[in-house]
Amino acid sequence: MTAALLTLLLAVQATVPSLPVPAAQPPVTVILETTLGAIVIEVDAARAPATAANFLRYVDEGWYAGGRFT
């Protein structure tokens, strides 16, 4: 890396405001009951907020109730 590029990168880095760090959220636990026992699912909303929100919405709306593993 050239000195000019390194200087430019350091200058840009110094002018970019730091983003706030979100507070740590514990994972949401969902228990999936099966005829062979329970499966504990930890949903990490901090790392995958959109996916976690969709999954939890499906759980709340009962989309997985009565489902089958084949």
What's the number of domains the chain is made of?
Answer: 1
- Global pTM value: 0.60
Does residue 63 lie in a domain region? yes
What digits encode the pLDDT tens for the residues 7-31?
A: 544 555 555 566 565 666 788 999 9
Give the separation between CA 55 and CA 62, rounded to whole angstroms.
Answer: 11
Residue 56 lies in a domain: yes
Does residue 34 form part of some domain?
A: yes
Place 6 in a pLDDT band, splitting at 50, 70 and 90: very low
DSSP codes joined into one string, the chain? --HHHHHHHHHHHHHSPPPPPPPP-PPEEEEEEETTEEEEEEE-TTT-HHHHHHHHHHHHTTTTTT----
Question: For residue 55, what are its two tokens?
Answer: 């999954």
